[in-house]
Amino acid sequence: MPKSWVKQRKEDGYYKKAKEIGYRSRAAFKLIQINEKFSVMKNGDLVVDLGAAPGSWSQVASEIVGKEGRVIAVDRKRMKPLDNVALVRADLTHPEAFESIREASEGDVDVVISDMAPRLSGNRHIDQAKSISLAEIAFDFSLEILRKGGNFVAKVFQGDQFHDYQKAVASRFDFCKSHSPKASTSSSREIFVIAKGFRG
Ligand SMILES: C[S@@+](CC[C@H](N)C(=O)[O-])C[C@H]1O[C@@H](n2cnc3c(N)ncnc32)[C@H](O)[C@@H]1O
């Protein structure tokens, strides 16, 4: 890891704040900011978090849904346990993963959130195509598991296919917008698609 990158990260305000609060990653603040602006999750909700490791989005979701609600965290990487969060270790490119999530959820889900990201190759076009493909998996899954009126958030790297993706999501929800929270670094090409009110 280059020294300059390590230094830059340590000086980053969100990184420091995450360490102080005990969030597993600075990404926590992206979800906090998204929820403050769009109210995608609330107390009592059942939330499925796709691409959840190391777990900061699940920490935030668990705080929001409280003891009345539940979070299911899914990742191909092993995760350390979290309070009020069920962990499912699965690769979401494998269809069997969805059976495991369905079993863990025991019914319709209020919110699907996805911060899934591919291993970066350094080639913009390849990375964007892989990111879209993960976001499509998250969208297809949300169509199967969300209750009517449910909400969806997915991270996508911006590029050629982004607008088609957003259009496809918008066609199934009452509200759909793309948003870049302040906690996303300025050099990042990530953007979040926020969709509310699944039409079923
Ligand atoms: C940016 S990290 C997520 C950070 C997380 N939201 C947090 O706040 O701690 C992206 C995650 O997506 C996961 N991921 C990527 N492709 C996946 C796949 N096919 N199946 C399951 N998880 C995947 C990676 O393992 C990685 O942990």
Q: What's the 158 CA to ligand 1 centre distance in angstroms?
A: 18
Give the ligand 1 atom nearest the CA of 25.
9
Q: Quick one: pLDDT at residue 6?
A: 60
Please list, in sequence order, all residues whose beta carbon lies within 8 angstroms of the beta carbon of residue 148, skipping any fewer than 6 positions away. 198, 199, 200
User: Domains of the chain by range and CATH?
Assistant: 3-198 (3.40.50.150)
The atom of ligand 1 lying closest to the CA of 77 is: 25
The model's pTM is 0.95
Distance CA(183)–CA(152), nearest Å, equals 19
Collapsed DSSP state (helix, strand, coil) of residue 198: strand
Give the three-state DSSP class for 139.
Answer: helix
Tokens of 105: 């959820």
* Token pair recorded at residue 33: 């900011």
52 lines ligand 1 (CB under 6 A): yes
SS (H, E, C) 22-74: CCCCCCHHHHHHHHHHHCCCCCCCEEEEECCCCCHHHHHHHHHHCCCCEEEEE
Cα-flanking dihedrals φ and ψ of residue 156, to 5°?
Answer: -140, 145
pLDDT at 2: 56
Which residues are catalytically annotated?
155
Residues 117 and 51 sit within 8 Å (Cβ to Cβ):
yes
Q: Is the CB of 127 under 6 A from ligand 1?
A: no
Query: How would you write the pLDDT of the chain (200 residues) with one tens digit per residue?
Result: 555 656 566 558 999 999 999 999 999 999 999 999 999 999 999 999 999 999 999 999 999 999 999 999 999 999 999 999 999 999 999 999 999 999 999 888 999 999 999 999 999 999 999 999 999 999 999 999 999 999 999 999 999 999 999 999 999 999 999 999 999 987 778 999 999 999 99
Query: 168: closest CA among 192, 189, 193?
Result: 193
pLDDT of residue 12: 81
59 C-beta closer than 6 A to ligand 1: no
What pLDDT does 145 receive? 96
Query: Are the C-beta atoms of 155 and 118 separated by less than 8 Å?
Result: no
Model pLDDT, residue 186: 73
At residue 166, what are phi and psi to the nearest 5 degrees?
Answer: -60, -35
Please identify, by atom number, the ligand 1 atom nearest to the C-alpha of residue 92.
20
Q: In whole angstroms, what is the distance from residue 184 CA to residue 37 CA?
A: 15
State the pLDDT at residue 185.
83
